[in-house]
Amino acid sequence: MTTEEELAKLEDNIRRLKIEYDTYFSGGQPRPPHDTVFRVESTIKKFSDNTARLNFGQRFKFNQLMQKYAVYSDLWRRRLKEKEEGRGRFAAQPRPAEEKAPDGAFRIVCSNPEKEKEKVDELLKAMIEAKRQVGERVDNIDPLQFSKFVGDKTRQLKESLGCEKVQFSVSVEGGRVKFKAVKAE
């Protein structure tokens, strides 16, 4: 393969790599394109070691391709970091089941609280917030006891009502905190 053909192939691989990274960041591929990165970087290393054999036009083209790859590489590195840290456009969106209802109550549906620790924690936070809102003490709430209570209540309601899921709600009504558990639909 001639030097001109290898430079054209390098340019094509950089273009292909850009497309593969765009697909990865938009969620179309599960993993970053490591194979194409390896091909591009090994070709760049090969030419970097032998720039003396390139004529002026080939060196100019190679330097342009290296700059293009360096800019893309920096962009991809920053976007990978954002994705790993869950920032920017990769940040987790709040789940609608955990948002406050129009009447101001916090509702959550549980089927197995022992395996759904995040939901129980959200329910506990809502309970603490509601108690603070009405001026009640919150230092006497034990997270382990609360978690055990939610688990026991879920089991009890599932058995007595014959349901698969239980909906818990925390609200403030008439200056008092209301904690309810009902059959989920």
pLDDT of residue 99: 47
Q: Does the pLDDT value for residue 3 go beyond 50? A: yes
Q: Does the pLDDT value for residue 71 go beyond 90? A: yes
- Tell me the one-letter amino acid at 153: K
Confidence of residue 103 (pLDDT cuts 50, 70, 90): low
pLDDT of residue 113: 84
Which ranges of the chain does DSSP label H, i.e. alpha helix?
3-25, 34-49, 56-85, 117-134, 143-161
Contact 166, 153 (CB under 8 A): yes
Measuring CA to CA, how many Å separate 33 from each of 65, 112, 128?
19, 39, 46
Confidence of residue 21 (pLDDT cuts 50, 70, 90): very high
**HSE (side-chain half, CA atoms, 13 Å) at 115:** 3
Contact 172, 178 (CB under 8 A): yes
Residue 90 burial (CB < 10 Å; 0-12/13-18/19+)?
middle
- Assessment of whether the complete model's pTM goes beyond 0.85: no
